[in-house]
Chains A and B, each alone.
Chain A
Amino acid sequence: MRLRRSAAFGLLVAMLAGLGLLAGLDAARRHSIADARFAAHRALARWVMFTDPALFTDARYTRHPSLADRHSAFQDYPLALEHFPSGTLIVPPAHLAGPAPGSGSRPR
Protein backbone atom coordinates (compact mmCIF):
# COMPACT_ATOMS: atom_id res chain seq x y z
CA MET A 1 0.00 0.00 0.00
CA ARG A 2 1.33 3.43 -0.93
CA LEU A 3 1.64 5.92 1.90
CA ARG A 4 -0.29 9.16 1.40
CA ARG A 5 1.84 12.31 1.47
CA SER A 6 -0.05 13.70 4.47
CA ALA A 7 0.46 10.43 6.37
CA ALA A 8 4.19 10.45 5.51
CA PHE A 9 4.47 14.01 6.78
CA GLY A 10 2.57 13.11 9.99
CA LEU A 11 4.87 10.15 10.49
CA LEU A 12 7.97 12.30 10.08
CA VAL A 13 6.69 14.86 12.60
CA ALA A 14 5.80 12.08 15.07
CA MET A 15 9.23 10.53 14.63
CA LEU A 16 11.02 13.84 15.28
CA ALA A 17 8.80 14.51 18.32
CA GLY A 18 9.67 11.03 19.62
CA LEU A 19 13.39 11.72 19.16
CA GLY A 20 13.00 15.05 21.00
CA LEU A 21 11.28 13.28 23.88
CA LEU A 22 14.03 10.63 24.03
CA ALA A 23 16.70 13.35 24.10
CA GLY A 24 14.90 15.01 27.03
CA LEU A 25 14.66 11.72 28.93
CA ASP A 26 18.33 11.01 28.29
CA ALA A 27 19.30 14.48 29.57
CA ALA A 28 17.27 13.90 32.76
CA ARG A 29 18.92 10.51 33.28
CA ARG A 30 22.43 11.94 32.78
CA HIS A 31 21.61 14.78 35.16
CA SER A 32 20.47 12.38 37.89
CA ILE A 33 23.62 10.23 37.68
CA ALA A 34 25.81 13.35 37.64
CA ASP A 35 24.63 14.31 41.15
CA ALA A 36 27.53 12.45 42.77
CA ARG A 37 30.00 14.25 40.50
CA PHE A 38 28.40 17.61 41.27
CA ALA A 39 28.60 16.90 45.00
CA ALA A 40 32.35 16.19 44.66
CA HIS A 41 32.79 19.44 42.71
CA ARG A 42 30.86 21.37 45.35
CA ALA A 43 33.08 19.91 48.08
CA LEU A 44 36.21 20.87 46.13
CA ALA A 45 34.87 24.38 45.51
CA ARG A 46 34.19 24.79 49.26
CA TRP A 47 37.66 23.50 50.13
CA VAL A 48 39.56 25.86 47.83
CA MET A 49 37.03 28.68 48.46
CA PHE A 50 36.16 29.23 44.81
CA THR A 51 34.31 32.44 44.12
CA ASP A 52 33.04 31.78 40.60
CA PRO A 53 32.26 28.84 38.36
CA ALA A 54 35.25 29.83 36.10
CA LEU A 55 33.46 29.52 32.77
CA PHE A 56 36.41 30.99 30.87
CA THR A 57 40.13 30.53 31.31
CA ASP A 58 41.65 33.30 29.20
CA ALA A 59 41.41 36.50 31.27
CA ARG A 60 41.44 36.60 35.06
CA TYR A 61 38.60 39.10 35.21
CA THR A 62 36.29 36.80 33.22
CA ARG A 63 37.52 33.69 35.04
CA HIS A 64 36.63 35.21 38.42
CA PRO A 65 34.28 38.12 37.63
CA SER A 66 33.34 38.57 41.29
CA LEU A 67 37.00 39.37 42.09
CA ALA A 68 37.47 41.73 39.14
CA ASP A 69 37.87 45.43 39.74
CA ARG A 70 37.25 48.34 37.43
CA HIS A 71 40.83 48.38 36.21
CA SER A 72 41.87 44.75 35.89
CA ALA A 73 40.99 44.56 32.18
CA PHE A 74 43.21 47.49 31.14
CA GLN A 75 46.64 46.70 32.58
CA ASP A 76 48.74 46.42 29.42
CA TYR A 77 49.24 50.15 28.93
CA PRO A 78 47.44 53.40 29.81
CA LEU A 79 43.87 53.37 28.43
CA ALA A 80 44.31 49.91 26.90
CA LEU A 81 41.13 48.55 25.38
CA GLU A 82 40.04 45.22 26.83
CA HIS A 83 41.14 42.49 24.45
CA PHE A 84 40.26 38.96 25.54
CA PRO A 85 37.72 37.00 23.49
CA SER A 86 35.65 36.12 26.56
CA GLY A 87 35.24 39.85 27.30
CA THR A 88 32.43 39.90 24.74
CA LEU A 89 30.70 36.85 26.17
CA ILE A 90 30.65 37.90 29.82
CA VAL A 91 29.83 41.50 30.66
CA PRO A 92 31.27 43.36 33.68
CA PRO A 93 29.34 42.42 36.83
CA ALA A 94 26.65 44.84 37.95
CA HIS A 95 28.60 45.97 41.03
CA LEU A 96 31.32 47.43 38.75
CA ALA A 97 28.98 49.43 36.57
CA GLY A 98 27.65 52.02 39.05
CA PRO A 99 29.25 54.65 41.29
CA ALA A 100 31.98 53.54 43.71
CA PRO A 101 30.63 52.31 47.08
CA GLY A 102 30.35 55.03 49.68
CA SER A 103 30.33 57.85 47.15
CA GLY A 104 26.82 58.81 48.16
CA SER A 105 25.82 59.35 44.53
CA ARG A 106 22.84 57.82 42.86
CA PRO A 107 23.55 55.09 40.30
CA ARG A 108 23.50 56.30 36.72
Chain B
Amino acid sequence: MTAGLRRHLRIVGYVIGSLRRRWRKNAAVVGVYGLVIFTLASVVFLTQSLTQESVASLQSSPEIMVQRLSAGRHGLSPVTDAGALTQIAGVGAVAPRRWAYLTDPATGETLLLRVAEGGRLREHEATAGAEVLRRRGLAVGGTLSLRGDAGEPLALTITGVAATSTPLEAAALITVSETAFRALSGMPDGQAMDLALRVRNRRELPTIAAKIGESHPATRPIIRDDLVRTYTALFNWRSGVIVASLLVPVLAFILFAWDKAAGLSPDERREIGILKAVGWETADVILLKCYEAATVSLAAFVLGAGLAIAVLVLPRPPAVLPVLLGWSTLYPSFRPAPALGAYQVATLFFLTVFPYLVATVVPAWRAGTTDPDLVMRG
Protein backbone atom coordinates (compact mmCIF):
# COMPACT_ATOMS: atom_id res chain seq x y z
CA MET B 1 0.00 0.00 0.00
CA THR B 2 1.43 3.36 -1.01
CA ALA B 3 1.98 6.12 1.53
CA GLY B 4 -0.50 8.40 -0.30
CA LEU B 5 -3.30 5.86 -0.16
CA ARG B 6 -2.54 5.14 3.51
CA ARG B 7 -2.82 8.87 4.26
CA HIS B 8 -6.23 9.04 2.57
CA LEU B 9 -7.47 5.95 4.41
CA ARG B 10 -6.37 7.40 7.74
CA ILE B 11 -8.13 10.67 7.02
CA VAL B 12 -11.30 8.76 6.10
CA GLY B 13 -11.01 6.82 9.36
CA TYR B 14 -10.69 10.07 11.25
CA VAL B 15 -13.70 11.53 9.37
CA ILE B 16 -15.89 8.61 10.39
CA GLY B 17 -14.87 9.05 14.04
CA SER B 18 -15.45 12.77 13.82
CA LEU B 19 -18.91 12.38 12.28
CA ARG B 20 -19.79 9.85 14.99
CA ARG B 21 -18.79 12.29 17.75
CA ARG B 22 -21.27 14.87 16.36
CA TRP B 23 -23.86 12.35 15.21
CA ARG B 24 -26.92 14.37 16.24
CA LYS B 25 -26.01 17.34 14.08
CA ASN B 26 -24.91 15.16 11.19
CA ALA B 27 -28.02 12.96 11.39
CA ALA B 28 -30.19 16.12 11.23
CA VAL B 29 -28.32 17.37 8.16
CA VAL B 30 -28.50 13.97 6.42
CA GLY B 31 -32.23 13.71 7.30
CA VAL B 32 -33.23 17.12 5.89
CA TYR B 33 -30.84 16.82 2.94
CA GLY B 34 -32.17 13.31 2.21
CA LEU B 35 -35.77 14.56 2.33
CA VAL B 36 -35.03 17.25 -0.26
CA ILE B 37 -33.29 14.71 -2.52
CA PHE B 38 -36.17 12.25 -2.00
CA THR B 39 -38.74 14.83 -3.13
CA LEU B 40 -36.79 15.83 -6.22
CA ALA B 41 -35.88 12.20 -7.02
CA SER B 42 -39.55 11.11 -6.76
CA VAL B 43 -40.54 13.71 -9.35
CA VAL B 44 -37.64 12.85 -11.68
CA PHE B 45 -38.11 9.06 -11.47
CA LEU B 46 -41.91 9.21 -11.82
CA THR B 47 -41.59 11.52 -14.82
CA GLN B 48 -39.26 9.01 -16.44
CA SER B 49 -41.62 6.12 -15.60
CA LEU B 50 -44.67 7.91 -17.03
CA THR B 51 -42.82 8.97 -20.18
CA GLN B 52 -41.74 5.38 -20.75
CA GLU B 53 -45.28 4.17 -20.01
CA SER B 54 -46.77 6.48 -22.63
CA VAL B 55 -44.07 5.61 -25.17
CA ALA B 56 -44.61 1.88 -24.48
CA SER B 57 -48.37 2.26 -24.92
CA LEU B 58 -47.75 3.84 -28.34
CA GLN B 59 -45.29 1.15 -29.41
CA SER B 60 -47.92 -1.09 -30.98
CA SER B 61 -49.99 1.82 -32.30
CA PRO B 62 -50.26 2.41 -36.03
CA GLU B 63 -47.98 5.03 -37.59
CA ILE B 64 -50.94 7.29 -38.41
CA MET B 65 -54.42 7.35 -36.84
CA VAL B 66 -57.15 9.16 -38.74
CA GLN B 67 -60.11 10.51 -36.79
CA ARG B 68 -63.18 12.16 -38.22
CA LEU B 69 -64.14 15.51 -36.77
CA SER B 70 -67.76 16.45 -36.30
CA ALA B 71 -68.78 19.88 -34.96
CA GLY B 72 -65.17 20.39 -33.87
CA ARG B 73 -65.10 17.17 -31.90
CA HIS B 74 -63.97 13.61 -32.41
CA GLY B 75 -66.71 11.79 -34.34
CA LEU B 76 -67.12 8.26 -35.69
CA SER B 77 -65.40 7.33 -38.96
CA PRO B 78 -67.33 5.50 -41.71
CA VAL B 79 -65.56 2.23 -42.48
CA THR B 80 -65.90 3.10 -46.20
CA ASP B 81 -63.30 5.90 -45.77
CA ALA B 82 -60.64 3.19 -45.57
CA GLY B 83 -60.79 2.52 -49.31
CA ALA B 84 -59.89 6.08 -50.32
CA LEU B 85 -57.02 6.22 -47.80
CA THR B 86 -55.50 2.99 -49.14
CA GLN B 87 -55.06 4.75 -52.51
CA ILE B 88 -52.61 7.30 -51.04
CA ALA B 89 -49.06 6.45 -52.10
CA GLY B 90 -46.97 5.09 -49.23
CA VAL B 91 -49.91 3.79 -47.18
CA GLY B 92 -49.47 0.05 -46.56
CA ALA B 93 -52.78 -0.91 -45.00
CA VAL B 94 -55.83 0.80 -43.49
CA ALA B 95 -57.83 -0.85 -40.74
CA PRO B 96 -60.97 0.52 -39.06
CA ARG B 97 -60.56 0.25 -35.29
CA ARG B 98 -63.44 -0.39 -32.94
CA TRP B 99 -62.65 0.80 -29.47
CA ALA B 100 -64.59 2.87 -26.97
CA TYR B 101 -64.42 4.08 -23.42
CA LEU B 102 -66.88 2.75 -20.91
CA THR B 103 -67.61 4.09 -17.47
CA ASP B 104 -67.63 1.37 -14.88
CA PRO B 105 -71.03 1.95 -13.21
CA ALA B 106 -69.76 0.80 -9.82
CA THR B 107 -66.57 2.80 -9.51
CA GLY B 108 -66.92 5.57 -12.09
CA GLU B 109 -63.57 4.56 -13.58
CA THR B 110 -62.89 4.81 -17.29
CA LEU B 111 -62.40 1.41 -18.92
CA LEU B 112 -61.37 0.63 -22.49
CA LEU B 113 -63.54 -1.62 -24.64
CA ARG B 114 -62.02 -3.26 -27.67
CA VAL B 115 -63.31 -5.70 -30.22
CA ALA B 116 -61.27 -8.90 -30.12
CA GLU B 117 -59.25 -9.42 -33.28
CA GLY B 118 -60.30 -12.19 -35.65
CA GLY B 119 -63.71 -12.68 -34.00
CA ARG B 120 -62.22 -14.97 -31.36
CA LEU B 121 -64.95 -14.26 -28.80
CA ARG B 122 -68.59 -15.28 -28.87
CA GLU B 123 -71.42 -12.85 -28.12
CA HIS B 124 -71.40 -13.07 -24.32
CA GLU B 125 -67.70 -13.71 -23.83
CA ALA B 126 -64.98 -11.29 -22.81
CA THR B 127 -61.35 -11.18 -21.79
CA ALA B 128 -59.97 -8.52 -19.44
CA GLY B 129 -56.65 -7.22 -18.14
CA ALA B 130 -55.28 -9.05 -15.10
CA GLU B 131 -55.75 -6.00 -12.86
CA VAL B 132 -59.37 -5.49 -14.02
CA LEU B 133 -60.13 -9.04 -12.88
CA ARG B 134 -58.15 -8.80 -9.63
CA ARG B 135 -59.88 -5.60 -8.52
CA ARG B 136 -63.30 -7.16 -9.12
CA GLY B 137 -62.36 -10.47 -7.53
CA LEU B 138 -63.07 -12.26 -10.81
CA ALA B 139 -61.40 -15.34 -12.26
CA VAL B 140 -61.61 -16.99 -15.66
CA GLY B 141 -65.14 -18.41 -15.93
CA GLY B 142 -66.59 -15.61 -13.76
CA THR B 143 -69.22 -13.11 -14.86
CA LEU B 144 -68.46 -9.46 -15.55
CA SER B 145 -71.55 -7.25 -15.24
CA LEU B 146 -71.63 -4.10 -17.34
CA ARG B 147 -74.32 -1.69 -18.48
CA GLY B 148 -75.26 -1.41 -22.14
CA ASP B 149 -75.65 1.81 -24.07
CA ALA B 150 -79.41 1.84 -23.45
CA GLY B 151 -78.88 1.19 -19.74
CA GLU B 152 -79.67 -2.53 -19.88
CA PRO B 153 -77.49 -4.88 -17.79
CA LEU B 154 -75.11 -7.05 -19.76
CA ALA B 155 -73.39 -10.11 -18.28
CA LEU B 156 -70.22 -11.33 -19.96
CA THR B 157 -68.38 -14.55 -19.18
CA ILE B 158 -64.65 -14.13 -18.72
CA THR B 159 -62.91 -16.63 -20.97
CA GLY B 160 -59.34 -15.52 -20.41
CA VAL B 161 -56.90 -12.86 -19.31
CA ALA B 162 -56.23 -10.29 -22.06
CA ALA B 163 -52.62 -9.89 -23.20
CA THR B 164 -51.47 -6.42 -22.10
CA SER B 165 -48.20 -4.57 -22.41
CA THR B 166 -48.52 -1.76 -19.85
CA PRO B 167 -49.89 -1.50 -16.27
CA LEU B 168 -52.62 0.90 -17.48
CA GLU B 169 -53.79 -1.63 -20.08
CA ALA B 170 -53.86 -4.34 -17.42
CA ALA B 171 -56.03 -2.08 -15.22
CA ALA B 172 -58.48 -0.88 -17.88
CA LEU B 173 -58.73 -3.18 -20.91
CA ILE B 174 -61.75 -5.34 -21.68
CA THR B 175 -62.03 -7.11 -25.05
CA VAL B 176 -65.43 -8.24 -26.24
CA SER B 177 -67.17 -9.59 -29.32
CA GLU B 178 -68.39 -7.17 -31.97
CA THR B 179 -72.04 -7.72 -30.98
CA ALA B 180 -71.33 -7.03 -27.31
CA PHE B 181 -69.24 -4.01 -28.30
CA ARG B 182 -72.15 -2.48 -30.21
CA ALA B 183 -74.52 -3.17 -27.33
CA LEU B 184 -72.13 -1.57 -24.83
CA SER B 185 -70.94 1.42 -26.86
CA GLY B 186 -73.94 2.11 -29.07
CA MET B 187 -71.66 2.43 -32.12
CA PRO B 188 -73.72 1.86 -35.31
CA ASP B 189 -72.79 -0.76 -37.88
CA GLY B 190 -70.39 0.46 -40.60
CA GLN B 191 -68.75 2.95 -38.25
CA ALA B 192 -65.42 2.78 -36.43
CA MET B 193 -63.73 4.91 -33.80
CA ASP B 194 -60.80 5.72 -36.08
CA LEU B 195 -58.81 4.35 -38.99
CA ALA B 196 -55.34 2.92 -38.40
CA LEU B 197 -52.81 3.44 -41.18
CA ARG B 198 -49.64 1.40 -41.55
CA VAL B 199 -46.83 3.24 -43.29
CA ARG B 200 -43.54 1.53 -44.11
CA ASN B 201 -41.31 4.57 -44.62
CA ARG B 202 -41.31 6.84 -41.56
CA ARG B 203 -39.91 9.75 -43.55
CA GLU B 204 -43.13 9.84 -45.57
CA LEU B 205 -45.36 10.31 -42.49
CA PRO B 206 -45.68 14.14 -42.65
CA THR B 207 -46.35 14.04 -46.42
CA ILE B 208 -49.02 11.36 -46.06
CA ALA B 209 -50.64 13.24 -43.14
CA ALA B 210 -50.70 16.42 -45.25
CA LYS B 211 -52.29 14.54 -48.17
CA ILE B 212 -54.98 13.13 -45.86
CA GLY B 213 -55.68 16.61 -44.51
CA GLU B 214 -56.15 17.91 -48.08
CA SER B 215 -58.26 15.04 -49.45
CA HIS B 216 -60.35 14.56 -46.26
CA PRO B 217 -60.75 18.01 -44.65
CA ALA B 218 -63.16 16.69 -42.01
CA THR B 219 -60.52 14.35 -40.58
CA ARG B 220 -57.60 14.70 -38.25
CA PRO B 221 -54.48 12.61 -38.93
CA ILE B 222 -52.45 11.90 -35.77
CA ILE B 223 -48.84 10.83 -36.31
CA ARG B 224 -47.54 8.44 -33.66
CA ASP B 225 -44.06 10.01 -33.54
CA ASP B 226 -45.64 13.41 -32.82
CA LEU B 227 -47.51 11.89 -29.88
CA VAL B 228 -44.27 10.45 -28.48
CA ARG B 229 -42.66 13.90 -28.68
CA THR B 230 -45.75 15.51 -27.12
CA TYR B 231 -45.69 13.14 -24.15
CA THR B 232 -41.98 13.59 -23.51
CA ALA B 233 -42.40 17.38 -23.56
CA LEU B 234 -45.55 17.21 -21.45
CA PHE B 235 -44.12 15.19 -18.58
CA ASN B 236 -40.99 17.33 -18.57
CA TRP B 237 -43.21 20.41 -18.35
CA ARG B 238 -45.28 18.93 -15.53
CA SER B 239 -42.23 17.85 -13.55
CA GLY B 240 -40.84 21.37 -14.12
CA VAL B 241 -44.02 22.84 -12.60
CA ILE B 242 -43.68 20.59 -9.53
CA VAL B 243 -39.98 21.37 -9.13
CA ALA B 244 -40.77 25.10 -9.42
CA SER B 245 -43.37 24.77 -6.68
CA LEU B 246 -40.75 22.99 -4.55
CA LEU B 247 -38.31 25.83 -5.05
CA VAL B 248 -39.04 27.46 -1.68
CA PRO B 249 -38.20 24.37 0.46
CA VAL B 250 -35.18 23.66 -1.79
CA LEU B 251 -33.91 27.21 -1.34
CA ALA B 252 -34.51 26.95 2.42
CA PHE B 253 -32.41 23.79 2.42
CA ILE B 254 -29.64 25.43 0.39
CA LEU B 255 -29.50 28.21 3.01
CA PHE B 256 -29.48 25.63 5.79
CA ALA B 257 -26.74 23.58 4.08
CA TRP B 258 -24.68 26.66 3.37
CA ASP B 259 -24.97 27.73 6.99
CA LYS B 260 -23.98 24.27 8.25
CA ALA B 261 -21.17 23.84 5.76
CA ALA B 262 -19.79 27.36 5.81
CA GLY B 263 -20.00 28.20 9.50
CA LEU B 264 -17.71 26.19 11.74
CA SER B 265 -18.85 25.62 15.31
CA PRO B 266 -16.43 26.54 18.17
CA ASP B 267 -15.88 22.80 18.74
CA GLU B 268 -14.91 22.27 15.13
CA ARG B 269 -12.58 25.28 15.23
CA ARG B 270 -10.87 23.93 18.35
CA GLU B 271 -10.54 20.52 16.71
CA ILE B 272 -8.90 22.00 13.62
CA GLY B 273 -6.58 24.06 15.81
CA ILE B 274 -5.50 20.95 17.70
CA LEU B 275 -4.98 18.98 14.46
CA LYS B 276 -2.81 21.73 13.10
CA ALA B 277 -0.89 21.99 16.38
CA VAL B 278 -0.12 18.25 16.28
CA GLY B 279 1.28 18.55 12.79
CA TRP B 280 -1.58 18.32 10.27
CA GLU B 281 -1.02 20.42 7.17
CA THR B 282 -3.50 22.77 5.50
CA ALA B 283 -3.98 20.27 2.64
CA ASP B 284 -4.85 17.52 5.17
CA VAL B 285 -7.46 19.73 6.87
CA ILE B 286 -9.03 20.66 3.52
CA LEU B 287 -9.09 16.98 2.55
CA LEU B 288 -10.68 16.15 5.91
CA LYS B 289 -13.46 18.69 5.40
CA CYS B 290 -14.02 17.55 1.79
CA TYR B 291 -14.31 13.92 2.90
CA GLU B 292 -16.75 14.98 5.63
CA ALA B 293 -18.93 16.81 3.12
CA ALA B 294 -18.71 13.92 0.64
CA THR B 295 -19.74 11.41 3.32
CA VAL B 296 -22.72 13.52 4.44
CA SER B 297 -23.92 14.28 0.91
CA LEU B 298 -23.45 10.72 -0.34
CA ALA B 299 -25.34 9.35 2.66
CA ALA B 300 -28.17 11.83 1.99
CA PHE B 301 -28.18 10.97 -1.72
CA VAL B 302 -28.35 7.23 -1.08
CA LEU B 303 -31.10 7.77 1.51
CA GLY B 304 -33.18 10.15 -0.65
CA ALA B 305 -32.76 8.36 -3.98
CA GLY B 306 -33.21 4.96 -2.33
CA LEU B 307 -36.49 6.06 -0.72
CA ALA B 308 -37.68 7.50 -4.04
CA ILE B 309 -36.97 4.17 -5.76
CA ALA B 310 -38.70 2.30 -2.92
CA VAL B 311 -41.78 4.51 -3.29
CA LEU B 312 -41.96 3.60 -7.00
CA VAL B 313 -42.55 -0.03 -6.12
CA LEU B 314 -44.51 0.30 -2.85
CA PRO B 315 -48.26 -0.39 -3.06
CA ARG B 316 -49.26 3.15 -2.06
CA PRO B 317 -48.93 5.58 -4.99
CA PRO B 318 -46.53 8.51 -4.49
CA ALA B 319 -48.16 11.83 -3.61
CA VAL B 320 -46.93 13.59 -6.76
CA LEU B 321 -48.38 10.96 -9.13
CA PRO B 322 -51.84 12.61 -9.49
CA VAL B 323 -50.20 15.95 -10.34
CA LEU B 324 -48.15 14.33 -13.11
CA LEU B 325 -51.14 12.33 -14.35
CA GLY B 326 -53.55 15.28 -14.56
CA TRP B 327 -56.94 14.08 -15.85
CA SER B 328 -55.55 10.57 -16.39
CA THR B 329 -56.56 9.98 -12.75
CA LEU B 330 -60.00 9.21 -14.22
CA TYR B 331 -58.58 5.87 -15.35
CA PRO B 332 -58.47 3.05 -12.79
CA SER B 333 -55.52 3.77 -10.52
CA PHE B 334 -52.36 2.29 -11.97
CA ARG B 335 -48.68 2.41 -11.14
CA PRO B 336 -46.38 3.09 -14.05
CA ALA B 337 -43.65 0.46 -14.37
CA PRO B 338 -40.57 1.87 -12.56
CA ALA B 339 -38.06 3.27 -15.03
CA LEU B 340 -34.66 4.55 -13.98
CA GLY B 341 -32.28 6.10 -16.45
CA ALA B 342 -28.56 6.66 -15.82
CA TYR B 343 -29.02 10.16 -17.22
CA GLN B 344 -31.70 11.03 -14.61
CA VAL B 345 -29.67 9.61 -11.73
CA ALA B 346 -26.52 11.44 -12.89
CA THR B 347 -28.42 14.74 -13.27
CA LEU B 348 -29.95 14.39 -9.83
CA PHE B 349 -26.55 13.53 -8.34
CA PHE B 350 -24.90 16.51 -9.98
CA LEU B 351 -27.66 18.93 -8.95
CA THR B 352 -27.83 17.82 -5.31
CA VAL B 353 -24.40 16.51 -4.25
CA PHE B 354 -22.10 18.76 -6.21
CA PRO B 355 -23.34 22.14 -4.79
CA TYR B 356 -22.91 20.83 -1.23
CA LEU B 357 -19.32 19.77 -1.94
CA VAL B 358 -18.51 23.12 -3.52
CA ALA B 359 -20.08 24.96 -0.56
CA THR B 360 -17.66 23.25 1.83
CA VAL B 361 -14.42 23.93 -0.05
CA VAL B 362 -14.08 27.63 0.85
CA PRO B 363 -14.76 27.30 4.60
CA ALA B 364 -12.49 24.22 4.68
CA TRP B 365 -9.69 26.23 3.12
CA ARG B 366 -10.32 29.13 5.56
CA ALA B 367 -10.26 26.74 8.51
CA GLY B 368 -7.15 25.03 7.19
CA THR B 369 -5.18 28.25 6.91
CA THR B 370 -6.10 29.54 10.38
CA ASP B 371 -3.37 29.93 12.93
CA PRO B 372 -3.78 27.03 15.45
CA ASP B 373 -2.84 29.17 18.44
CA LEU B 374 -5.46 31.77 17.54
CA VAL B 375 -8.16 29.15 17.01
CA MET B 376 -7.50 27.28 20.26
CA ARG B 377 -7.59 30.49 22.26
CA GLY B 378 -11.04 31.15 20.69
How many Å lie between the Cα of A103 and that of B329 in the bound state? 20
Residues of chain A in range 8-56 having any CB-CB distance to chain B below 8 Å: none
How many Å lie between the Cα of A103 and that of B109 in the bound state? 12
**What is the interface residue range for chain A against chain B?**
20 to 34
Is B107 close to A, CB under 8 A? yes
Residues of chain B in range 30-83 having any CB-CB distance to chain A below 8 Å: 50, 53-54, 57-58, 61, 65, 67, 73-74
Q: How far is the CB of A95 from chain B (nearest CB, A)?
A: 9
Is B349 close to A, CB under 8 A? no
The CB with the most chain A CB atoms within 10 A, among B114, B166, B168, B329, is that of B329
How many Å lie between the Cα of A70 and that of B104 in the bound state? 11
Please name all residues of chain B whose beta carbon is closer than 8 Å to the beta carbon of A84 when the two chains form the complex. Answer: 326
Q: How far is the CB of B139 from chain A (nearest CB, A)?
A: 22
With contact pairs A78-B114, A82-B326, A88-B326 given, residues A97 and B227 touching in the complex (Cβ less than 8 Å): no
**What is the interface residue range for chain B against chain A?**
35 or more
Please name all residues of chain A whose beta carbon is closer than 8 Å to the beta carbon of B97 when the two chains form the complex. Answer: 78
How many Å lie between the Cα of A106 and that of B241 in the bound state? 35
With contact pairs A71-B101, A77-B61 given, residues A92 and B107 touching in the complex (Cβ less than 8 Å): no
Please name all residues of chain B whose beta carbon is closer than 8 Å to the beta carbon of A105 when the two chains form the complex. Answer: 105-107
Q: How far is the CB of B245 from chain A (nearest CB, A)?
A: 10
Is B112 close to A, CB under 8 A? yes
Q: Is the CB of B107 within 8 A of A79?
A: no
Please name all residues of chain B whose beta carbon is closer than 8 Å to the beta carbon of A78 when the two chains form the complex. Answer: 97, 99, 112, 114
With contact pairs A77-B65, A81-B50 given, residues A87 and B326 touching in the complex (Cβ less than 8 Å): yes
Q: Is the CB of B65 within 8 A of A108?
A: no
How many Å lie between the Cα of A73 and that of B324 in the bound state? 14
Residues of chain A in range 48-101 having any CB-CB distance to chain B below 8 Å: 60-61, 70-71, 73-85, 87-88, 91-92, 96-100
With contact pairs A71-B101, A99-B106, A99-B107 given, residues A77 and B58 touching in the complex (Cβ less than 8 Å): yes
Please name all residues of chain B whose beta carbon is closer than 8 Å to the beta carbon of A73 when the two chains form the complex. Answer: 326-328, 330
The one of B108, B231, B238 that contacts A88, using a Cβ cutoff of 8 Å: B238
Q: Is the CB of A61 within 8 A of B327?
A: yes
Please name all residues of chain B whose beta carbon is closer than 8 Å to the beta carbon of A83 when the two chains form the complex. Answer: 230-231, 234, 326
The one of B227, B325, B330 that contacts A70, using a Cβ cutoff of 8 Å: B330
With contact pairs A73-B330, A76-B222, A96-B330 given, residues A81 and B325 touching in the complex (Cβ less than 8 Å): yes
Please name all residues of chain A whose beta carbon is closer than 8 Å to the beta carbon of B230 when the two chains form the complex. Answer: 83
The one of A60, A79, A85 that contacts B237, using a Cβ cutoff of 8 Å: A85
How many Å lie between the Cα of A84 and that of B235 in the bound state? 10
Q: Is the CB of B227 within 8 A of A96?
A: no
Is B323 close to A, CB under 8 A? yes
Please name all residues of chain A whose beta carbon is closer than 8 Å to the beta carbon of B328 when the two chains form the complex. Answer: 73-74, 81-82
Closest Cβ neighbor of B329 among chain A residues: A92
Q: Is the CB of A100 within 8 A of B61?
A: no
How many Å lie between the Cα of A92 and that of B328 in the bound state? 9
Is B178 close to A, CB under 8 A? no
How many Å lie between the Cα of A84 and that of B326 in the bound state? 9
The CB with the most chain A CB atoms within 10 A, among B54, B101, B231, is that of B101
Q: Is the CB of A70 within 8 A of B103?
A: yes
Q: Is the CB of A82 within 8 A of B222?
A: no
Please name all residues of chain A whose beta carbon is closer than 8 Å to the beta carbon of B99 when the two chains form the complex. Answer: 78
Q: Is the CB of B74 within 8 A of A79?
A: no
Closest Cβ neighbor of B74 among chain A residues: A75
Closest Cβ neighbor of A68 among chain B residues: B327
CB within 8 Å of B: which residues of A?
60-61, 70-71, 73-85, 87-88, 91-92, 96-100, 102-103, 105, 107-108
The 5 listed contacts between A and B (C-beta, < 8 Å) are: A76-B65, A80-B57, A81-B325, A84-B326, A91-B329
**Closest 7 A-B residue pairs measured CB to CB?**
A87-B326, A82-B327, A71-B101, A103-B105, A73-B327, A99-B108, A75-B74
A-B contact sample (9 more), CB < 8 A, given A79-B331, A108-B108: A70-B330, A74-B110, A74-B327, A75-B67, A79-B57, A81-B57, A88-B326, A97-B330, A105-B107
